[in-house]
């Protein structure tokens, strides 16, 4: 439940004169995949995200194009540019995200370890901050 757990995942791929083949197999992703979805045709200047998932770990992969993510855990913030289809970004549960700067050709694949449940999505930033304070050990 900390942004310190976010990390890049290098995906197995093979390059030759026919192009690149990228594979997701075995334990390349650090969780069992229960859901996948992709975003595409996101209009320029529009943003996605602005929420956190209470119980869902995710891996985001820019299959085509590029986009940026601002991630936050109520203490630490980081910005990531996803522009390599051979590398995914792992995000732990309760990571607040803002996705933006989508190039017109972008296709963003998202792998999740849970099925979607709208009741488990935190969409209010103040509620998110409260939940994170409550989850933090007392000092």
CATH of the domain at 41: 2.60.120.10
Contact partners, residue 15, CB within 8 Å, separation at least 6: none
- The per-residue pLDDT for 39 is 98
Residue 127 lies inside a defined structural domain of this protein: yes
Residue 17 lies inside a defined structural domain of this protein: no
Mean pLDDT over residues 86-92, rounded? 98
Residue 24 lies inside a defined structural domain of this protein: no
Residue 22 lies inside a defined structural domain of this protein: no
Residue 34 lies inside a defined structural domain of this protein: yes
* Number of structural domains the chain divides into: 1
Query: Do residues 99 and 47 make contact, with C-beta atoms less than 8 angstroms apart?
Result: yes
Q: Is the pTM of this model over 0.75?
A: yes
Query: Do residues 20 and 14 make contact, with C-beta atoms less than 8 angstroms apart?
Result: yes
Name the region of 44 (left: φ>0; alpha: ψ -120 to 50; beta: rest). beta
Residue 122 lies inside a defined structural domain of this protein: yes
Cα separation, 4 vs 7, whole angstroms = 8
* CA distance to 31, 61, 81, 110, per residue, from 73 (Å): 20, 20, 18, 19
- Convert the pLDDT of each residue in 7-50 to its tens digit: 999 999 999 999 999 999 888 999 999 999 999 999 989 999 99
Residue 19 lies inside a defined structural domain of this protein: no
Residue 117 lies inside a defined structural domain of this protein: yes
Domain that holds residue 59: 3-12+29-135
Query: Do residues 88 and 9 make contact, with C-beta atoms less than 8 angstroms apart?
Result: yes
């Amino acid at each position: 439940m900390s942004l310190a757990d976010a990390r890049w995942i290098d995906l197995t791929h093979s390059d030759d004169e026919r192009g690149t083949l990228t594979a997701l197999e075995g334990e390349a992703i650090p969780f069992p995949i229960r859901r996948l979805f992709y975003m595409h045709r996101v209009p320029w200047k529009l943003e996605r995200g602005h929420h956190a998932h209470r119980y869902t770990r995710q891996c985001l992969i820019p299959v085509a194009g590029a986009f940026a993510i601002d991630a936050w855990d109520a203490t630490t913030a980081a910005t990531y540019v996803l522009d390599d289809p051979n590398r995914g970004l792992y995000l732990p549960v309760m990571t607040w995200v803002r996705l933006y700067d989508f190039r017109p050709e972008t296709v963003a694949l998202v792998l999740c370890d849970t099925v979607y449940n709208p009741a488990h999505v935190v969409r209010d930033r103040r509620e998110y901050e409260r939940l994170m304070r409550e989850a933090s050990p007392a000092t």
